[in-house]
Amino acid sequence: MGFLEFTVEAEDPSSKGRVGKLKCAHGEIETPVFMPVGTQGAVKTLDPDEVSALGFNIVLANTYHLYLRPGHETVRSLGGLHGFMAWNGALLTDSGGFQIFSMRDLVKISEEGVRFSSHLDGSKHTLTPELSVKIQEALGADIIMAFDEPVPPDCSDYYAREASERSTRWNERSRRAMTRSDRAMFGITQGGFSPDLRRRSAGQVVDIGFDGYAIGGLSVGESKEIMAEMIEATEPVLPKDKPRYLMGVGTPDDLVRCVARGVDMFDCVMPTRNARNGYLFTSEGRVAIRNAKYAKDPGPIDPECGCSTCSRFSRAYLRHLFMAGEILALRLNTIHNLSFYKHRMDQIRDAIREGSLGEWAGRLERE
């Protein structure tokens, strides 16, 4: 349908992991890929050149936030989101559903769409599949996501099924609403926490036909085992020649385990949000930089890391900046955590090419 080419270049005989290339309007992306989150048109604390320098060439932005502020028509008039935020890489926008449904008690769902109040000024809005696609086209995302309804882990089987069926119809309406042939659209499979429902949803969404497929509604509090079970139910239904995107996942080890289950794309606020809270990912586990034991520590965050933070600054300095409330701390931490995630994806692709990803993932499962 839309503008997207996906080629699988290598498969891991020991798992379902594959290395691929994803070509879209703004460049070519190696998969498996992790996409940093730029909710409001900026990867928090970083400027776009820093994101590039870290080796990322695709970023996620949030439709809900940009629709409310500054508004998609404003962004369109300023060169689309690419021009607005001075980002020459690829952009994927979510459909806005996830943010709205995370305020579930405050929204009204109907077949048409979802009515909600802005968290900024209380104004009333109705987001429909058609409006979501219109906003995303105005933003100019390379990859547009269909509008869907994720369900919370504690919802009834009855409701999960109803929401899953509605998501299928919303996927179909999103598909029909798409007008730009220079952009791509991914469908989103749902199905709550039932393998049967997951299979059925995936089958329906694949029947509609998209440039790629997302597994939605996971990483909302369920256990690792249930997440794995849902991916395993969905994956065989998805066409092998299209990219698969697991939304909102996850920890560095989740990335290994989920690529081994056939996932190609990820996004998550974990590296950036943890950074701003002073939690740093390292080859030796997570470091809480505020810990007093780092007060005089001359070493880098991670001796195995070559990022621009680790190559210049000690744990002692980073702790000082963090304790002193210096904004620079948040950026230096973000650079390190994103660098760790980028390196993790490089390692995963290498493991696939070497045929050792299955072993790595298995080791993590047993831990």
* Residue-by-residue DSSP string for 134-170: HHHHHHT-SEEEPP-----TTS-HHHHHHHHHHHHHH
Cα separation, 342 vs 19, in Å, equals: 15
* Interacting span for a copy of itself (CB under 8 A) from 164-172, 178-186, 247-255, 322-330: 322-330
Is the omega angle on the peptide bond into residue 358 within 30 degrees of 0, that is, cis? no
DSSP state of 191: -
CB nearer to a copy of itself: give 47 or 365. Answer: 47
DSSP state of 237: G
CB of 123 to a copy of itself, least distance (A): 16
Of the listed 12, 211, 264, 267, which one is catalytic? 267
CB nearer to a copy of itself: give 45 or 132. Answer: 45
**246, 215 contact by CB (below 8 A):** yes
* Residue-by-residue DSSP string for 214-228: EE-S-SSS--HHHHH
CB nearer to a copy of itself: give 72 or 198. Answer: 72
Cβ atoms < 10 Å from Cβ of 170: 27
Is the omega angle on the peptide bond into residue 236 within 30 degrees of 0, that is, cis? no
Size, binding site for a copy of itself by CB under 8 A? 37
Q: Does residue 108 touch a copy of itself according to CB under 8 A?
A: no
Q: Does residue 53 touch a copy of itself according to CB under 8 A?
A: no
Q: Does residue 70 touch a copy of itself according to CB under 8 A?
A: yes
Instruction: Quickly tell me which residue has 């899953």 as its tokens.
Output: 164
Binding flags for a copy of itself, 5-44, as an x/- string (CB under 8 A): -----------------------------------xxx-x
Q: Does residue 330 touch a copy of itself according to CB under 8 A?
A: yes
Strand order in the sheet with 58-61: 33-35, 265-267, 244-246, 212-215, 184-189, 143-145, 90-93, 58-61
State yes or no: is 94 an active-site residue: yes
* Interacting span for a copy of itself (CB under 8 A) from 21-29, 69-77, 131-139, 339-347: 69-77
Q: Does residue 3 touch a copy of itself according to CB under 8 A?
A: no
State yes or no: is 241 an active-site residue: no
Q: Does residue 88 touch a copy of itself according to CB under 8 A?
A: no
Residues that bind a copy of itself (CB under 8 A): 40-42, 44-48, 65, 69-70, 74, 77-79, 84-86, 295-296, 298, 312-314, 316-317, 319-321, 323-324, 326-328, 330-332
Which sequence positions are flagged as catalytic?
A: 94, 267
